[in-house]
Amino acid sequence: MRVYGKVYTRFWMKQDTLSWSDSAKLLGLYLLTCQHCNLLGCFRLPLGYIAEDLGWSRRRVSRNLDELNEHGFIERDKAGWTFICNYLKHNPIENINQGKAAIRLLSDVPQEFISHEKLIDALSQYQHKLPEVIQPNQVPQSNSANATTSEPHFNTIDEQNSESTPTPSQEQIPSPTSNQSEAPNNLFNQFWQEQTRKEKKLKAEEEWSRQGLDSDPVKAKEVIDIWIEQKTHRHQYQDRTKTPLPHNWLNNQQWQDEYLTVDEALPFGHSPLDNSFNNAPNNNSFIAQRWSAPIEKEVNSHDRI
């Protein structure tokens, strides 16, 4: 059972939501945050449970469920299976562990559920976070008249690789897609090698994946270039103790930062090549000696005896 549910403030800003009755708004929030909801936003919730939790009559629950269904917020069948239509859009699968849990939850959803196909489509957007590849069964065109509704099919990554392995009779030509699939790991390793503080690599790799950099090589290369630039020119990062750990830098999306450069941090009137600035310790020592020297009082002619 989950500990909390996430609700975006945009929930109250949508024109469609504002048109709901107060009871429908409360029921919508209940569905988003109740203990029965899961990371798919698809779960079985008998009408009696809602009535007990909210202290409503079954008739009032049924009426407000119908209102939410009419507005496209949920889809629900007679067995109590409920699908929050845009749940995965606002609550994305963030890492491979959540992907494994999502596949387990998906296996519990009946394939005859009216929103099963929509759930598959929504989940397939996070294919790179799933341990299994979701593929619809291919229905031959010649048998389309006798074909029934296609059911989702799951292949493990190993099965997919074995199916794509060419036989000796086939011409083995390097596939551009296979090269692209290797790029994310190579790019993360490149990012890691450029780090000043190589600590907590597993967290950094998870954050790299959560930011979608493992599926977007162009963005990943841009992030790496920005990190190298910041490491070289950002004034704060010249001090190792003030340089963030890789996973924190990624989590805070610090590639978007506007920062103080080394040149900008120099005192006014000095340049990096200014010897007077580079010799600051010697200058400070000279000033200290002047202040510590005994003061000679100038005697006026009137004070002489």
Q: Residue 249: what pLDDT?
A: 92
Domain presence at residue 68: yes
CA distance 72 to 69: 5
In a domain, 248, yes or no: yes
* Same structural domain, 15 and 122: yes
pLDDT tens sequence across 107-116: 999 999 999 9
Question: For strand 132-136 and strand 81-84, is the pairing parallel, antiparallel, or unpaired?
Answer: unpaired
Do 212 and 244 have their domain in common? yes
Q: Tell me the residue range of the domain where 54 lies.
A: 9-136
Write the burial class of residue 285 (CB in 10 Å: 0-12 exposed, 13-18 middle, 19+ buried): exposed
Tell me the per-residue pLDDT of 265-275, one tens digit each, with 9 for 90 and over. Answer: 765 545 444 44
107 and 216 both lie in a single domain:
no
CA distance 61 to 93: 30
Give the domain CATH number at 73: 1.10.10.10
Question: Is residue 301 in a domain?
Answer: no
Same domain, 281 and 249: no
Q: Provide the whole-model pTM.
A: 0.47
- Could you tell me if 115 and 60 lie in one domain? yes
Q: Are residues 128 and 229 in the same domain?
A: no
| pLDDT number for residue 175 | 45
Is there a single domain that holds both residue 122 and residue 82?
Answer: yes
CA dihedral sign, ordered 73, 85, 31, 75: positive
DSSP assignment letter at 41: S
Q: Is residue 281 part of a domain?
A: yes
Task: Say which amino acid occupies 47.
Answer: L
List of the chain residues with pLDDT < 70:
1-3, 133-185, 266-305
Residue 56 lies in a domain: yes
Question: Given this model, what pLDDT does residue 282 score?
Answer: 56
Specify the number of domains making up the chain: 3
